[in-house]
């Protein structure tokens, strides 16, 4: 589904991505982890067109999307939700999601139309239910809790009907209970939609419980990859990132 080949990116002589090669299978659920400055967000920025790679290929199916504009990459099937939610604070949840659906279907003149277009209402309602925001459809986005704003950001990405969904720290800034509620919602979404889902996460308890595979980045390179158990016991990962708590199996 998504294949990254020899991806490279430098900023002012500093190498942020140094020959990263990874594959993400259709329908897989993958966590990307690593210490601060490892290149995780840069990796997402390159995939989604926020940055243009210096070298390498980003294959979505058989098409190399490296260097395409962000809107072109979205149209080809890659969606993203951010660490800091991108929402429309003055709109209601329903209006924001309807706007995303309309934009995705090239109904730009109707993005904020007062009356929903016939083809937009049903997918918008479906997306709200998927992320458990159906009961807050009439709430202004700016009045949502932090967790619900993150869910809305995911909903806006889902409205674009992605084949691959990237989530940048979906549980960031949440308390323990809210974090688990969020990841349960994300996992349920992945099970229902059968999309390829890749998420950056710092909570290792979440990573090792929910991810099918784990990819570890360190200073712009791939330090390790494999099943959660393989990565948890990898000496290089323990030394560079996890520490002995995970080596002893008490995660």
Q: What is the pLDDT of residue 108?
A: 45
Percent of the chain with pLDDT over 90: 67
> Residue 69: inside a domain, yes or no?
yes
- Residue-range definition of the domain harbouring residue 202: 2-87+144-247
Q: What is the pLDDT of residue 251?
A: 40
Q: Domain tally for the chain?
A: 1
Contacts of 224 (CB under 8 A, 6+ apart): 214, 215, 216, 230, 231, 234, 236, 237
Cα gap 51→67, rounded to integer Å: 8
> Residue 182: inside a domain, yes or no?
yes
Whether 47 and 24 have beta carbons less than 8 Å apart is answered as no
At 121, the pLDDT band (50, 70, 90 cuts) reads confident
Q: Does residue 102 carry a pLDDT above 90?
A: no
> Residue 150: inside a domain, yes or no?
yes
Strand order in the sheet with 63-64: 14-24, 2-11, 55-60, 63-64
What are the phi and psi torsion angles at 186 (to 5°)? Answer: -60, -45
Q: Does residue 9 carry a pLDDT above 90?
A: yes
167: domain CATH number? Answer: 3.40.50.300
Whether 28 and 227 have beta carbons less than 8 Å apart is answered as no
At 101, the pLDDT band (50, 70, 90 cuts) reads confident
> Residue 100: inside a domain, yes or no?
no
Q: What is the pLDDT of residue 245?
A: 53
Cα gap 5→18, rounded to integer Å: 11
Percent of the chain with pLDDT over 70: 90
Cα gap 180→186, rounded to integer Å: 10
> What is the tens place of the pLDDT at every residue in 17-38?
999 999 999 999 999 999 888 9
Mean pLDDT of 42-60: 96
> What is the tens place of the pLDDT at every residue in 145-171?
999 999 999 999 998 889 999 999 999
> Residue 114: inside a domain, yes or no?
no
At 185, the pLDDT band (50, 70, 90 cuts) reads very high
Mean pLDDT of 185-208: 94
At 118, the pLDDT band (50, 70, 90 cuts) reads low
Average pLDDT, the chain: 88
> Residue 153: inside a domain, yes or no?
yes
> Residue 32: inside a domain, yes or no?
yes
Q: What is the pLDDT of residue 115?
A: 47
Q: What is the pLDDT of residue 160?
A: 86
> Residue 233: inside a domain, yes or no?
yes
């Amino acid at each position: 589904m998504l294949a990254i080949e020899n991806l490279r990116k430098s900023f002012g002589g500093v190498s942020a991505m140094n020959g990263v090669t990874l594959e993400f299978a259709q329908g897989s659920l993958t966590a990307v982890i690593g210490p601060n400055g490892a290149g995780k967000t840069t990796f997402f920025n390159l995939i989604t067109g926020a940055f243009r790679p210096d070298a390498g290929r980003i294959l979505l199916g058989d098409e190399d999307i490296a260097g395409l504009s962000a809107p072109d990459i979205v149209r080809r099937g890659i969606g993203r939700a951010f660490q800091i939610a991108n929402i429309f604070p003055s709109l209601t949840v329903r209006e924001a999601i309807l706007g995303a659906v309309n934009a995705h279907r090239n109904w730009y003149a109707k993005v904020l139309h007062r009356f929903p277009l016939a083809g937009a209402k049903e997918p918008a309602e479906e997306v709200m239910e998927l992320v458990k925001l159906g009961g807050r459809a009439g709430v202004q986005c700016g009045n949502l809790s932090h967790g619900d704003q993150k869910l809305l950001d995911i909903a806006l990405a889902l409205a674009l009907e992605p084949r691959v969904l990237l989530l940048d720290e979906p549980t960031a800034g949440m308390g323990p209970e809210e974090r688990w509620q969020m990841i349960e919602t994300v996992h349920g979404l992945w099970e229902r939609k059968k999309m390829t889902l890749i998420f950056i996460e710092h909570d290792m308890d979440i990573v090792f419980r929910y991810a099918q595979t784990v990819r570890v980045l360190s200073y712009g390179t791939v330090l390790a990859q494999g099943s959660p158990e393989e990565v948890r016991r990898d000496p290089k990962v323990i030394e560079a990132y996890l520490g002995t708590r995970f080596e002893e199996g008490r995660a």
